[in-house]
Chain A
Amino acid sequence: AQSVTQLDSQVPVFEEAPVELRCNYSSSVSVYLFWYVQYPNQGLQLLLKYLSGSTLVESINGFEAEFNKSQTSFHLRKPSVHISDTAEYFCAVSDHGNFNKFYFGSGTKLNVKP
């Protein structure tokens, strides 16, 4: 079974500053990787995903994440955050052998201040 660690439970940052949300997973088997975002009072929405190919994946709203197999990490970054990015972000992992079962981290609350 996978274990997913999001070390930072809360990340406060000023608007237009860069941010990195960290995600590490336990097993080095072939994985699929996801970042989901949850805005207040809303359901989880997919932000971006890594299935195969280029290790750097991007979202439509400026986030990017890089799959690092040797470090078993999938950190999420944005060079300049906006107030509207305030939300909780969840990293999720599934194994190639059982892609139906997602393992989630405990989430990171990003609080963007003006």
Chain B
Amino acid sequence: DTGVSQNPRHKITKRGQNVTFRCDPISEHNRLYWYRQTLGQGPEFLTYFQNEAQLEKSRLLSDRFSAERPKGSFSTLEIQRTEQGDSAMYLCASSLGTGDYEQYFGPGTRLTVT
């Protein structure tokens, strides 16, 4: 399967703990996106990368959140000092960039903060 993959698929953590999620995009895609989806809502944009450069961050991405894409391939999203309000599905997507505009989504990582 050459689609976008995300690990882990589920994560349960206690409030105050740090968590890290990984996203592996489609191999030839140079753009990578992170979204958050809460129950009953559509995905909300968090940030995106072109290769290794993080080009835009949403105001939703508080100081406790950090995303990296060190070699322009996989990406990690870390949440420090988790809060119950961080409970959500975290989605990763990738795209070729110009010409197509379609974003291909991974299955998501469901985070539950207890």
Contact = CB atoms under 8 A, between A and B. Distances in A.
Interface of A: 4, 6, 9, 32, 34, 36, 42-46, 49, 51, 90, 92, 94, 98-107
Given A43-B91, A49-B102, A51-B101, A102 B45 contact: yes
Nearest to B31: A100
A106 B40 contact: yes
Interface string B79-99: 000000000000101010000
A98 B91 CA distance: 20
Q: Which 4 A-B pairs have the closest CB atoms?
A: A104-B42, A44-B105, A43-B107, A43-B105
Contacts, number: 57
A106 B48 contact: no
A98 B101 CA distance: 10
Contact of B48 (A6, A36, A49, A101): A101
B74 interface: no
B59 to A, nearest CB: 10
Given A44-B43, A106-B42, A107-B42, A100 B55 contact: yes
A92 B44 CA distance: 11
13 contacts: A4-B42, A42-B107, A44-B105, A46-B104, A51-B101, A90-B42, A90-B43, A100-B55, A100-B56, A102-B103, A104-B35, A105-B42, A106-B41
Interface residues of B, number: 25
Contacts of A90: 42-43
A46 B4 CA distance: 13
A106 B38 CA distance: 10
B91 A101 contact: no
Contact of B33 (A43, A100, A107): A100
B106 interface: yes
B35 to A, nearest CB: 8
Contacts of B106: 43
Contacts of B91: 43-44
A94 B101 contact: yes
Nearest to B41: A106
